[in-house]
Structure 1
Amino acid sequence: MNRFTFKGLLAGIVLACAFGQGASAAEISGVKLEDTIKVAGKDLKLNGYGMRQKFVAKVYVTALYLPEKSKSFPEIMKMDGPRRVSLVLMRDLTSDDFGDAFMNGLNNNLNNDEKSKIVSQISKFGEMFGLLQGLKKGDVLHLDWIPGTGTQCEFNGKKIGEVVPDLLFYNAILRIWMGERPVDAGLKNALLSAK
C-alpha cells in the first residue's frame, strides 16, 4: 500500500471514529437509541427497536441489545453473554397497569408447566412493580440478563428489586415481546430486524 493510500485510509478511520462517538444509531418519537451500549463490561449491539402502541396511543419505545445481532428468537434465547431490553415510557402508567401488562404477556406465552418452574421469580418481579409509585412519560426501565448473576432491573439509572438468577425467567420476559403470542406483532418484527 503506498503512502498516499495509507494516509487517506487513516484519515477516513479517524473521521469515522470522531463522528461515531456518542452518535445515536436511531431515533423514534424523539427517543434516541445508542448503536452500542455496555452491560456487565461487555459491548452490546442494537438488534432492533420499535414502538409499543395500544390502539392509537404510544405506550413505550422498546430496544433490544445483544452481543451479536440476530433475527432468530430461538438463537437469542441461547446466546451467551449479557442482553438488555430497554423501555422508554411515552405516557404515564400506574404501577398496577404496568404490572398487569407484564403478567398478561407472560400468561399469553407460557404454559402452566413453564410458569410453575419460575413462579417464585415471577412473584419477586411483581413485588418490584409494587415498589414503583407509578411510571411517568420519559422514565427508562432496563431489563438486563447478566451471566453468573441473573436478571437485574434498573429504573431511571437506579437498580431496583432483587436479582432473579434463573435464565428461564429472563427468556420468559423476552417472550412477552418476541414469543409466539407477542404483545405486539409489529414490535416483535422490529426487535428481530437485526438491521
Structure 2
Amino acid sequence: MRCIPGGRTAALSLILAACLAGAPAFAADAEVAGVRVPDHLSEGAHALVLNGAGLRTRFVVKVYVAALYVTTKSHDAAALIDSNELRRMRLQLLRDVDSNSLDKALQDGLRDNTSSQELAALNEPARRLSALMAEIGAAREGDVIDLDFDARGVAIVSNGKPQGRIDNPAFARALLRVWLGDSPAQASLKKALLGN
C-alpha cells in the first residue's frame, strides 16, 4: 500500500499515533531477589500502587522481600507513617522463619523507633502482636505476610488468611516505623521502600 500525503493511510497513521500518545502508561512489575513484585494491588474498592520494594538481609542471609503499597506514592517517610490512607507492607519470606524470631525482630524494631514512654503506653497492643505472630506459627519460604495499615490501626494477613487486627492508630504508626523510622530494620531497605 502506497502512503500518499493527505491520503487515507496518512490519516489513519495520525489517528493511531494520537491514540497511543494519549494512552496511559502502566509500569511493569518489579523484581527483587528473584521475587516478582506487582506494581499494583487491588484491595476491595482501593487500588494500591507500589511505593517501593527491597530486600531484608540479616548478616548475609536473605530473609524477605518487603514491598510497600500506598494509595499515593511518596518519598516522605513521616507522611507515609502518619497517613490515614490504606497502606500495605507485604513481606515475602525467602527462608523459613519461626514465629518467635519474627516477633522478636518486630519487637526490637518497635523499641528502636519508639520512646520508652510511648512504648509503655503501647504495651498491650505489642503483646497482641506477639499473640498474632504465634498464631501464624512458623513462616515458610514463599509465605506472604501482609500488614494493612489504616486510620484505625493494623490488620495482619498470612497467605491471604486474616489473622486479626490491632485497633490502635498509635501502635500502627509505631509498627510502620520498624521499616520507615529513624532507626529502621535496615537503612537500605528503608531507602528502597521510599522509592529512592
The TM-score, its normalising length taken from structure 2, stands at 0.86
Pick one of 118, 122, 144 that aligns with 1:118.
Answer: 122
What amino acid does structure 2 have at the position aligned with 1:156? N
Counterpart of 2:194? 192
The TM-score, its normalising length taken from structure 1, stands at 0.87
Find the aligned partners of 2:59 and 2:187 in 1 and give their Cα distance. 13
Match runs of 1:92-107 below 5 Å: 92-107=96-111
2:84 partner SS: coil
Report the Cα offset of residue 122 of structure 1. Answer: 0.9
Contact 2:88 2:148 in 1 (8 A): yes
Identical amino acids, percent of aligned pairs: 31
Contact 1:24 1:32 in 2 (8 A): no
Matched, 1:6 2:8: no
Counterpart of 1:175? 177
1:43 partner SS: strand
Find the aligned partners of 1:188 and 1:157 in 2 and give their Cα distance. 25
Counterpart of 1:157? 160
**Greater radius of gyration (CA):** 2
Pick one of 134, 145, 148 that aligns with 1:130.
Answer: 134
2:138 partner SS: coil
What do the CA deviations read for 1:61-85 (whole angstroms, capped 9, x no partner)? 0001111111111111232320000
Unaligned segments of structure 1, at least 5 residues = none
Q: RMSD in angstroms over aligned alpha carbons?
A: 2.0
Contact 1:140 1:155 in 2 (8 A): yes
2:29 partner SS: strand
Count of residue pairs the alignment pairs up: 186
Find the aligned partners of 1:5 and 1:172 in 2 and give their Cα distance. 54
Find the aligned partners of 1:137 and 1:152 in 2 and give their Cα distance. 22
Unaligned segments of structure 2, at least 5 residues = 1-10
What do the CA deviations read for 1:31-89 (whole angstroms, capped 9, x no partner)? 11111112342111111110001111100000011111111111112323200000000
Counterpart of 1:141? 145
